[in-house]
Amino acid sequence: MKKPNYSLMIVTIIIMLVIVVAATYAYFATSMSLTNNVALNITVPNASRATFTSYSTNPLQLNVGLANMINPSAIAVVTDTGDLIVKYSSPVANDDYECTYDIQYVWDSTDQYITPSMTLTPTYPYEISLAATANATGDSFSSYDYSSKNLMEKDLSQFLWNGSAGTVGRYSTIISDAKIYTNTVAGTTVTWTFNLNFYSLPSVQTDFSGKSLSAHIVTGNIRC
């Protein structure tokens, strides 16, 4: 009887283990970009013009590598902070203007975020999450509470989407009916600060392998 080639068997097993490990911890690089440049001029009955503008000075970007995926953590292992600036100014002092707007998360890539394979729990409630807070400077609007519109930390799988998965341009309204008021030329500035977070889960997260996820946050449904 021919003796089995134990050396070849050992080499084969080692190769298979390397393949399994590589597949489990495949490099995950994701870039979620927040870019905004929206300007809208409003014509009012007295023919003066109030200006509503939104833009970003600090884009969001997450780059998650192998070392960030190995140890499960209930605390974000990669995080980044970005902003969305909303400004509204009157051309004439003491003229009152008000706008209501939404903030939308708009998908830019055909690669899509996939719901994590494990069930999220109170211990591990997020995989990729987004949170937002607002701070206003300038003219006051006493009857409006910006903090009531803050986006508490929320996993992307919890977003409600308009449009089909895999469609560039599908969006989720993440903040509804925010208001901004002005009665001075200097106007009002509202800075929305966004935190994008990645969590290492106690499960395989290879759905991101080789993908570049891209989205932007923008004002939409503007009513002035």
Query: Using one digit for the tens of pLDDT, what is the confidence trace for 160-215?
Result: 888 887 788 889 999 999 988 888 888 889 999 999 998 988 988 877 777 777 88
CA distances 166 to 10, 111, 170, 213, Å, are 43, 6, 8, 11
Mean of all residue pLDDT scores within the chain? 75
Looking at residue 23, what is its pLDDT? 29
Q: What is the pTM of this model?
A: 0.77
Rg of the chain on CA atoms, in Å: 24
Neighbours of 81 (CB within 10 A): 13
Tokens 């707007």 -> residue: 101
Bridge-based pairing state of the strands 78-89 and 97-107:
unpaired
Q: What is the mean pLDDT of residues 117-137?
A: 91
